[in-house]
Amino acid sequence: MQERLQKIIARAGIASRRHAEQLILSGQVRVNGRVVTELGTKADAATDRIEAAGRVVKGQERRVYLVLNKPPEIVSAMADPEGRKTLKNCLRGFPERVYPVGNLEYTASGLVFLTNDGDLAAEMLRHWGELEQVYFVKVKGMLTLEELERLGKEIGVRMKTVRQPDATRRRAANYWYEVRMRDTRKEEMRNVLFREGHPVEKMKRVGLGPLTVEGVAEGRYKILREGEVVEVRKRIEVRKERKERKERKERGKEKTREKI
């Protein structure tokens, strides 16, 4: 069956679909010995010899899905030009090639989702801004209940106090809070908290859509069960449908204004 090359390469686990497109554009993909540089090119993985970045595309690899608990000061990628530690350091000995979906800041810790399923990765990235993320955020000092409500509304997130994990006495000097947000709100949250005299000191992502890092030790990973992967797909579909309904509603309003 004829399919786009980037889809075949991603499904084989050689690269993410986005990276596969870059390989094609840079002339690192061959089909039956011929260099291909056009993104619309199709091939048949069953009959054509396809090479990408020096690797031959073989039969479909086993699909794997991981949740990794990234330590701080680890680059959320499989390679780093500056020579810093990457996710590969946490995946030593893992047989399949996987790639992170989305990004987690270098200084932050917590949940990173990795897979060799290029189709699912592409869908997640397309709707990344619609997936709820849950962070534990440590700030300087302590926020009052009134501040939590007021600042949460201003930033557009939900904030609440959590059990202080590093408190050795009755009270912690600097407090941790649970923040539920969309990815686009992180920088705004940092700016608002800094302005209020409570700069962010640490961030740990503990949830992404239906996924959680609970029970996974820092620097370790777990392989997701089939049911957990199904939940990820369902969550994306729900978000996609909501977004499409909203867009249809906005288009309807625009048409009504034009008629008036």
Across residues 225-241, what is the average pLDDT? 89
Does the pLDDT at position 169 exceed 60?
A: no
23 vs 18: CA distance, rounded Å: 9
CATH top-level class of 132-208: alpha beta
CB 200 within 8 A of CB 138: yes
Q: What is the mean pLDDT of the chain?
A: 89
Give the position of tokens 């740990």.
204
User: For residue 200, what pLDDT is reported?
Assistant: 95
Judged by average pLDDT, the poorest of 30-39, 183-192, 202-211 is 183-192
User: For residue 151, what pLDDT is reported?
Assistant: 94
Across residues 240-249, what is the average pLDDT? 79
User: For residue 254, what pLDDT is reported?
Assistant: 76
Write the single-letter amino acid at 226. Answer: E
Cβ partners under 8 Å of residue 126, min gap 6: none
User: For residue 166, what pLDDT is reported?
Assistant: 59
Across residues 241-255, what is the average pLDDT? 78
115 vs 100: CA distance, rounded Å: 7
Which residue spans of the chain are classified as CATH 3.10.290.10? 2-56
Q: Does domain 2-56 have CATH number 3.10.290.10?
A: yes
Q: How confident is the model at residue 79 (pLDDT cuts 50, 70, 90)?
A: very high
Across residues 106-124, what is the average pLDDT? 93
Across residues 229-241, what is the average pLDDT? 88
User: For residue 97, what pLDDT is reported?
Assistant: 87
Instruction: Read off the pTM.
Output: 0.72
SS3 assignment for the chain: CEEEHHHHHHHCCCCCHHHHHHHHHCCCEEECCEECCCCCCEEECCCCCEEECCEECCCCCCCCEEEEEECCCCECCCCCCCCCCEHHHHCCCCCCCCEEECCCCCCCEEEEEEECCHHHHHHHHHCHHHCCEEEEEEECCCCCHHHHHHHHHHHCCEEEECCCCCCCCCCCCCCEEEEEECHHHHHHHHHHHHHCCCCEEEEEEEEECCEECCCCCCCCEEECCHHHHHHHHHHHHHHHHHHHHHHHHHHHHHHHHHHC
Judged by average pLDDT, the poorest of 9-23, 108-122, 201-215 is 9-23
pLDDT digits (tens, 9 = 90+) for 83-93: 999 999 999 98
Q: How confident is the model at residue 46 (pLDDT cuts 50, 70, 90)?
A: confident
User: For residue 210, what pLDDT is reported?
Assistant: 94
Which residue spans of the chain are classified as CATH 3.30.70.580? 65-129+213-240
CATH topology of domain 65-129+213-240: Alpha-Beta Plaits (3.30.70)
Across residues 212-223, what is the average pLDDT? 96
Across residues 117-128, what is the average pLDDT? 89
pLDDT digits (tens, 9 = 90+) for 147-159: 999 999 999 999 9
Which residue spans of the chain are classified as CATH 3.30.70.1560? 132-208
Does the pLDDT at position 167 exceed 60?
A: no
